[in-house]
Amino acid sequence: MWQLAAKALLSGVLIAAIAEIGKRLPAMGALVASLPLVSVLGMLFLWHARPDAENMAIHAEATFWYVLPSLPMFLLIPALLRHGVPFWIALAAGCALTIVLYLAMMQIGPRFGLKL
């Protein structure tokens, strides 16, 4: 149980650090947020729980393919904000777009041989 608490605490610290950096230096906060820290930590935790090279390879490759549908959100939100759309609506629209693109990736990806 303590391992789960440690993982949650570490994840929370990362999010809090990104928010604090972003308050002072928005571009630097974005840079830190864009680093695959969560993915790397997830892989470390997964490897510790199940040190299986093939499982890790599948995980890492699927992570790559799932990152792609999330990227348009980071273009839609600023575009909406710059056109006067309130933050919460812009965020909801970005999240909705990401969900639609994830679902599309899950449907289309296997047709092209992707293991998702």
Q: For residues 13 and 70, state if they share a domain.
A: no
Please determine, for residue 116, whether its predicted confidence score (pLDDT) is greater than 90.
no
Q: For residues 26 and 60, state if they share a domain.
A: no
Q: For residues 69 and 106, state if they share a domain.
A: yes
Q: Cα–Cα distance between 116 and 59 in angstroms, integer?
A: 9
| Torsional sign, CA 66, 32, 40, 45 | negative
User: DSSP string of 41-70?
Assistant: HHHHHHHHH---HHHHHHHHHHHHHHHGGG
pLDDT in tens, 6-41: 888 888 898 899 999 999 999 998 888 888 888 898
pLDDT value, residue 102: 95
Q: For residues 57 and 112, state if they share a domain.
A: yes
Q: For residues 30 and 64, state if they share a domain.
A: no
Structure tokens at 21: 């950096």
Domain count, the chain: 2
Q: For residues 55 and 30, state if they share a domain.
A: no
